[in-house]
Copies of this chain bind each other. A is one copy, B any other.
Amino acid sequence: MAASSAAPWKPLLLDALRLNTHVRHSSYFQLATVGANGRPSNRTVVFRGFPDGSDRIQIHTDSRCRKIEEIRHCPYGEVCWYFADSWEQFRISGKIEIVDGLNTDPLKLQLREKNWFSSSLKSRTQYLGPGPGLPHLSEEQHGEPLLDQSTGPTAAFCLLLLDPEQVDYLNLKSNKRVMFVSRQNGASNHCWVEEEVNP
């Protein structure tokens, strides 16, 4: 067992991303949450990077999605990220923070805005469409929404920040599995403990 203050799983994840860039959808992963009925939910989302100097995982979503309701009810998630080419799996669990337009922290609002402008105009336009998961009405009734390049985040645009507490890394090529756990170290510090476990 070894301990460190920098996240020791992060270089492994960055390496996997680099090795798999040519694989279609290597930035897609599955995010599990728990519904108000206590049952699990699972869907594919897109990795939107780490905010500067942090280990938190950024995800974009629509505030009208069921997952927002679920995260408000149980603010924990587990990411399962499988890299098809390098045969590596990262299971990343932690607390999820929802950053919407009503957030009172100016730095968080700034981060949300940065995320909005970093995504494509096509992606942004989706947040103007009809509510996801609601019965679909014929296209004639909607029309194609128009969005200006300079328009800031719309009300439906949410940034999710998943703060990793545990990372279960599995390499199916080397048949090696390592468990990384974040341990509180005083009031505001934490350190990572890692241990090799059976695959």
A contact set with B: CB distance below 8 Å:
23-25, 28, 30-34, 38-44, 74, 76-80, 82, 84-85, 89, 91, 93, 129-136, 177, 179, 195-199
Residues of chain B lying within 8 A (CB to CB) of residue A38: 34, 38, 74, 76
Query: What is the CB-to-nearest-CB distance from A176 to chain B, in angstroms, rounded to a whole number?
Result: 8
**A32 touching B25, Cβ below 8 Å:** no
Q: What B residues does A131 contact at CB under 8 A?
A: 198
Residue pair B133, A197 in contact (C-beta under 8 Å): yes
Bound Cα distance A136, B199 (Å): 9
Query: Do A40 and B43 touch (CB < 8 A)?
Result: no
Additional pairs, 11, CB under 8 Å, beyond known A40-B77, A133-B197: A34-B38, A34-B40, A39-B76, A40-B93, A41-B91, A43-B89, A129-B198, A132-B199, A133-B177, A134-B197, A135-B195
Asked if B28 contacts A32 (CB within 8 A), the reply is no
Task: Let me know if A80 and B43 touch, CB within 8 A.
Answer: yes
Complex interface: chain B residues within 8 A of A34 (CB): 34, 38-40
Minimum Cβ distance to chain B for residue A46 (Å): 11
A164 to chain B, nearest CB (A): 13
Chain B contacts of A198 at CB under 8 A?
Answer: 129-136
15 contacts between A and B (CB under 8 A): A24-B84, A25-B82, A30-B32, A30-B80, A30-B82, A34-B40, A39-B74, A39-B76, A39-B93, A40-B93, A41-B78, A42-B42, A42-B79, A132-B199, A133-B177
